[in-house]
């Protein structure tokens, strides 16, 4: 049987020249509007944007890459499960969007081979720069990529890098703030629950928090307990936490390397009938949204994820614009006191300490 349906004519591809003709302006003018270039009048912008909307024009990023900038950046995340990351991404977008940049996100899952393949793909797609969030790659590998594309690493503590930029929160100070807050509430038996070392442990935020914890304990003259470490992928990690809580010699107060483990520890302790904070005080790290829920009310170290993202984006833009000297930026953490640290009435006027042992004004 013959198909009597008329074939729909193929839609002609809309190009920058099509938009220019429709708007009655030059191709250069359209290019300036799509790139958000300086000096474009509002009248010209409106005329071109109206034509773009009518015609359904989408600029070719690949073509822009051949001519120069694509106005796209890559953001590489290591573990998307961490609730701290949306704040970092939000901060990046808050800076990049007004600059007419789009962020494309890849997830490396802490696997070096996957990380390198994602970085190489982002380079192949002619992205203008990369933000790597807590990468697990060695500095020399990142440096080689940085010779091809501007790179800013967030949560990567290596003071010797010269080919790419780093943006970090002062993680040692964050851990010290937790120790001092425990002291202020009268806890002298303080432990830390951390993460099993990975390939990038020496440059990771986890390592810095462990260092800061040990320094603060020694500074206070307290008993230095071994830091307990649990692998993120350990199938029995919940049982390890139960054994930790059940141990008669466990510490009276615990700093967790991340809210991921602090919330889990809190939940397990409550399930086991251990009262928080009456029998076990807990401080997490990251001040993720879940910590403020009333049934949890977890004290946590806030490292300002949005601000870190903003700084990373601003630093990357300046690198894209031609800066060549390496920048190493640090932000300051703060403690958010909640009931897992002490009785609610005792936290109405909390005593907050800085990492040098002095009270905050």
- 141-190 confidence digits (pLDDT tens): 999 999 999 999 999 999 899 999 999 999 999 999 999 999 999 999 99
Contact 131, 152 (CB under 8 A): yes
Give pLDDT, residue 210: 97
Instruction: Decide if pLDDT at 354 tops 50.
Output: no
User: Side-chain half-sphere of 216: how many Cα atoms within 13 Å?
Assistant: 31
Least confident window among 101-105, 112-116, 215-219, 236-240? 112-116
Give pLDDT, residue 201: 77
The residues, any chain, with a CB within 8 Å of residue 334's CB and separated by 6 or more, are 177, 301, 302, 304, 352
Give pLDDT, residue 242: 97
Using one digit for the tens of pLDDT, what is the confidence trace for 79-98? Answer: 777 888 999 999 999 999 99
Give pLDDT, residue 68: 56
Instruction: Decide if pLDDT at 2 tops 60.
Output: no
DSSP-derived letter for residue 303 is: -
Give pLDDT, residue 355: 38
Give pLDDT, residue 110: 63
Give pLDDT, residue 358: 42
The residues, any chain, with a CB within 8 Å of residue 349's CB and separated by 6 or more, are none
In the chain, the percentage of residues whose pLDDT exceeds 90 is 63
Q: Where are the alpha helices (DSSP H) in 185-334?
A: 205-220, 237-246, 259-271, 305-320
Burial environment of residue 216 by CB neighbours within 10 A (0 to 12, 13 to 18, 19 or more): buried
- Indicate the angle between helix axes 85-96 and 305-320, nearest 10 degrees: 40
DSSP 3-state assignment of 163?
coil
Mean pLDDT of the region 222-246: 93
Residues composing the chain = 361
Partner residues linked to 152 by β-bridges? 131, 165
* Phi/psi at 330 (5° precision): -130, 140
Model confidence at 1, in pLDDT bands (50, 70, 90)?
very low
Using one digit for the tens of pLDDT, what is the confidence trace for 290-333? Answer: 999 988 999 999 999 999 999 999 999 999 999 999 999 999 99
Give pLDDT, residue 335: 97
Mean pLDDT of the region 353-359: 39
In this structure, how many other beta carbons lie within 10 angstroms of the beta carbon of residue 271?
10
Dihedral Cα 331, 332, 336, 342, nearest 10 deg: 140
DSSP 3-state assignment of 304?
coil
Who wins on pLDDT, 347 or 35? Answer: 35
Give pLDDT, residue 351: 47
Give pLDDT, residue 31: 78
Mean pLDDT of the region 90-112: 88
Q: Where are the alpha helices (DSSP H) in 38-77?
A: 42-55, 61-67
Who wins on pLDDT, 314 or 34? Answer: 314
Least confident window among 62-66, 72-76, 266-270, 275-279? 62-66
Give pLDDT, residue 361: 34
Q: What's the mean per-residue pLDDT of the chain?
A: 87
If you average pLDDT over each of 15-19, 133-137, 250-254, which comes out highest? 250-254
């Amino acid at each position: 049987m013959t198909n009597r349906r008329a074939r729909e004519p193929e839609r002609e591809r809309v190009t920058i020249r099509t938009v220019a003709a429709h708007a009655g302006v030059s191709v250069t003018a359209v290019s300036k509007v799509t790139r958000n270039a300086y000096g474009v009048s509002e009248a010209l912008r409106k005329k071109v944007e109206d034509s773009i909307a009518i015609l359904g024009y989408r600029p070719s990023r690949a073509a822009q890459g051949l001519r120069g900038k694509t106005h796209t950046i890559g953001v590489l995340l290591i573990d998307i499960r961490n609730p701290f990351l949306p704040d970092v991404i939000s901060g990046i977008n808050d800076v990049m969007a007004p600059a007419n940049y789009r962020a494309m996100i890849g997830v490396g899952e802490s696997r070096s081979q996957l990380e390198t393949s994602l970085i190489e793909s982002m380079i192949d797609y002619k992205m203008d720069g990369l933000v790597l969030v807590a990468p697990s790659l060695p500095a020399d590998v990142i440096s080689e990529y940085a010779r091809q594309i501007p790179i800013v690493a967030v949560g990567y503590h290596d003071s010797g890098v010269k080919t790419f930029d780093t943006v970090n929160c002062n993680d040692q100070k964050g851990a010290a703030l937790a120790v001092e807050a425990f002291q202020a509430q009268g806890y002298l038996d303080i432990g830390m629950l951390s993460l099993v070392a990975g390939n990038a442990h020496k440059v990771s935020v986890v390592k810095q928090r462990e260092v800061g914890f040990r320094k603060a304990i020694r500074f206070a003259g307290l008993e230095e307990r071994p830091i307990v470490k649990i692998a993120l992928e350990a199938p029995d990690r919940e049982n390890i936490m139960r054994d930790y809580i059940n141990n008669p010699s466990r510490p009276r107060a615990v700093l967790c390397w991340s809210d991921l483990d602090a919330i889990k520890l809190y939940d397990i302790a409550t399930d086991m009938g251990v009262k928080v904070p009456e029998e076990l005080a807990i401080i997490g790290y990251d001040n993720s949204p879940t910590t403020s829920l009333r049934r949890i009310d977890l004290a946590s170290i806030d490292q300002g994820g949005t601000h870190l993202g903003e700084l990373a984006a601003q630093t990357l833009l300046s690198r894209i614009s031609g800066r060549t000297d390496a920048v190493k930026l640090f932000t300051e953490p703060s403690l958010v006191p909640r009931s897992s640290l002490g009785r609610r009435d005792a936290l109405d006027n909390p005593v907050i300490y800085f990492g040098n042992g002095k009270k905050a004004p």
